[in-house]
Amino acid sequence: MSTAAGAALLLAAAVVCSSADGESEARRRAVPAVYVFGDSLVDVGNNDFLPPPAPRAGSPCGVDLPRAIPGGRTGRFTNGYNLADIIAQRVGFDMSPLAYLSLTPQASLDLLSSHVGANYASGGSGILDDTGNGTITLREQVKMFADTKATMIKANKLGNNRVNRLLSQSLFLISTAGNDFLAFGDGRATRSDASAYIAKMVTTYLKHIKELYRLGARRLGLLDALPIGCLPGCRTSFGHDDACDAAANSLARRFNALLRLEMASAKAASMPGMEYSIASIYGIFSDMITNPELDN
């Protein structure tokens, strides 16, 4: 990802963390742990442990990462730090917590003492179970987190109440939805049933969020859907190289609007004490594409 993207992604982090402590305390950890869920924008290596057809981050991904990354392989679908890293840095960590599937016994101990968190994200995955053949679906990611919590309690390093308290103070970050729109390109969904498809995306997303709430999440940062019609694959597949596909972008905007609406009513109806923020990745990427000179 370019430096322009890096600059914009910092903005995204600022949006997500706008309620965190002030600039002067930027290095102080604002949360005890970060738990990350979602797709390639935040995957830090889980897919390295999955067989095809799950996508793997190949060269030149990772070329701009500092050498400090343990193990050499970065597992990220970006040249440098990805959004999970940047947001974790904003709340006082060096980078994203490790990929869940990469955890060594020592890293598992750190995870179990809950002072790090874990990253369950899988490139290519989406909200729906049908999205991202071979990837870790959001449903499975939430299940892995449930297993993590159960193990933390069973390991008895912390009592049940302390685990719940730590989780309630931790940051839960989710970046998803973009890959679900691929269904419109491969025939699994059509523009005429777009409303039902988008409604199903939001309903399913809310179901997984409510499960995280039930498991103890109380601080949630969501990244909304990208302007999918401006992604390189989409532009060329629709036959015009520099214009974005307006119809595809409108699907993303409809999802984003419905997500904001349904999230607000779900919080009011059934998630008391949930603090959340939805960062407009759509707006940030659109600005970068329309006004590249502003970013660099």
Ligand X SMILES: *[C@@H]1O[C@H](CO)[C@@H](O)[C@H](O)[C@H]1NC(C)=O
Interaction site with ligand X (CB under 6 A): 53, 133-134
Whichever of 89 and 179 has its CB closer to ligand X, that residue is 179
Residues 6+ apart with CB under 8 A from 55: 40, 47, 77, 123, 124, 135
Nearest approach, Cβ of 9 to ligand X (angstroms)?
Answer: 31
Nearest Cα neighbor of 134 from 56, 57, 54, 44 is 54
Task: Tell me the C-alpha to C-alpha distance, in Å, between residue 275 and each of 19, 27, 195, 230, 242.
Answer: 10, 22, 28, 31, 39
Nearest approach, Cβ of 219 to ligand X (angstroms)?
Answer: 35
DSSP-H helix ranges across 119-218 = 138-154, 160-169, 194-214
Whichever of 157 and 188 has its CB closer to ligand X, that residue is 188
Whichever of 29 and 200 has its CB closer to ligand X, that residue is 200
Whichever of 53 and 292 has its CB closer to ligand X, that residue is 53
Whichever of 133 and 296 has its CB closer to ligand X, that residue is 133
Q: Which amino acid is at 194?
A: A
Which residue is nearest to ligand X, using beta carbons?
133
Q: In this structure, are residues 53 and 179 in contact, taking their beta carbons and an 8 Å threshold?
A: no
Per-residue DSSP letter, 99: B
Nearest approach, Cβ of 131 to ligand X (angstroms)?
Answer: 10
